[in-house]
Structure 1
Amino acid sequence: MDDRVVGNRRAAHSPGEPAPWLVAAVNYNDARRTGSAYNEAADGKLGSVYTALTEALISRGDWERVTATREQATGIVLLPHHFNLLLGTAQGKGINWSRLGYGLWPPPLANYVQGFETLTRKGRLARTLARARAEHEGRLPAETPPEFMGGYALRGVDPWEICPLSLVFSADPTRVRANPYAELQAAVANDPQALWILKPTDGCKGDRITILRTLGEVTAALSDHER
C-alpha cells in the first residue's frame, strides 16, 4: 500500500498508545465551539453536517482531526499527507482524486466507507432506526446530540419523530417486521391527508420514485414491484 491509499494510515503516537485514526474534514468550522448548537448562517448547511461527524469521531477518543483546506482562488482542496476518512463537500469539488489513486468517479467520501449502506440505503436505515427505538424502549440514547433532543421537547411529540414514518416491504416476509401492511393501514387511517413516497430498492438517482396519496395507490404500486 502507498501514500495514495485512504484508510490504512495512522498518525505518529507514543509507544504503548493506540494510534489515532485521522479524519480530514474539508468543511469543518474552526470558529465554532465544540458541542454548541448549530447555526446554519454561521456553520453552513453542509459544513454543520461534516462538523458534527468530525466532533462525534473526536469525542470517541481514538480519532484526531487533520487539516484539509480549500484554496479560495482555485477551489482546489489541499489534503494532508495521511488520513483515514475524508469528509468533503457533497460533490467532492476541488479534490484531486487521481492523487489518491482513484479514477474520476466515484469519489470515496463518507458514503463509500465499508458498511455505508446501513445508513444510506433507505430500507436499511428504516430497519436500523426501528431496531434502535425498540432497544432503547422508545427513549433517545443518552448520547443523542442536543439539537435532536430540543425539537421534540418543544413540540411535545414522540422523541423518535426525527424522520417521516418509514415502512419496509419485501417479497421475502423474513426480511421485514411482522406486518408492514397493517402499519401502513393504521398510518393512513390516522392521517388520511398524508403523502407517501415509494422508493424501490433497486432504483438510483430518483429512478422510479413515486409520490402517492391513497392506500389503494400504495398497495397497487407495491404489488407491481413484487411482480
Structure 2
Amino acid sequence: MSGFAGIDIGSRSIELVLVDANGEVLQQLQADTGFDPMAEAKRMLAQLSYQQIMATGYGRNLFEISFDATTVTEIKAHARGARACFPTAETVLDIGGQDSKAIALFANGRVKKFEMNDRCAAGTGKFLEIMAKALGFSLAEFSAQALAATSDINISSMCTVFAESEVTSLIGRGQDRQAIARGLHQSVIRRVKTMLNRVSNDGDIVFTGGVANNACMVHFLSETLQRQVLVPPQPQFIGAYGAALLAAGLD
C-alpha cells in the first residue's frame, strides 16, 4: 500500500504515519527512539511503501541526511495535524517528552505565533515521568491519583532535579502522595499557562503530543484556563500526521 509518509523523530519515541492522496490515514507505527534512531527509523520504513516522506521532530535533520528526505519544523507539523483534526482550531498546545510548544494560528491555519520551552525538562513529559517514578506510580496511576486528590501541595521547584528532591522530602514527612501528584500536575499547568497566554488568551485549545493522553492534565488545563481543551485521537501521532499531509501536498 503506497502513500505519503510523515515521520516524527522525538526524544522518547518515533511515530510514523502513512496517508493517501486525500489525507486519509492508511497506517500508523510507533517505536521507542532508542540509542540509534536512524536504525529504528529504517526498520519502521521497511514495513510500508511510500512515494514521498517528510520528517519532523528533533531528529529530522539527521533523518534528512540519512534518507535524503525533506523536513518540516515541529511547529508547522503539529499545526497542520491539529488543524486537520479540528478545522477551526486557532491554538495548539504540544507537550512531548523533552519540550512543550504553544502555537497560535491564523484563520487559514498558518502559524501566527509560538512559544517554546526546550531549555529544561520542566513542563514536559519527561518531568511528569520522573515525578511519577519518585512517587512510586506508573504514569496512568500518577494521573488517576492526581485527579482523585481532594487537595494539592504546592511544588515550588520547577527544575526537575530540585522538584524530585522536594517530592522525596515531602514523602519523608508523611505528606499524602495523591496531594503531591496533584501539585505536580498543577506546577506543569502553571508553566504552560504562561506560554499559552503569550500566544492566545481565548478560544479552544487543541492538545497534542503524548502528554495529551494524561486525563489529569486535560482536566486541570481546561479548569485553570476556562477554555475547552480538544484532544485528537492518538495525540502522540499528530506531528507525524501533519508531516504526512504536507508530504502529500495537502498544506
TM tier, shorter chain?
Answer: under 0.3
Higher relative contact order (CA 8 A, sep 6+): 2
| Structure with larger Rg | 1
- TM-score after normalising by structure 2: 0.23
- TM-score scaled by length of structure 1: 0.24
* Higher share in helix: 2
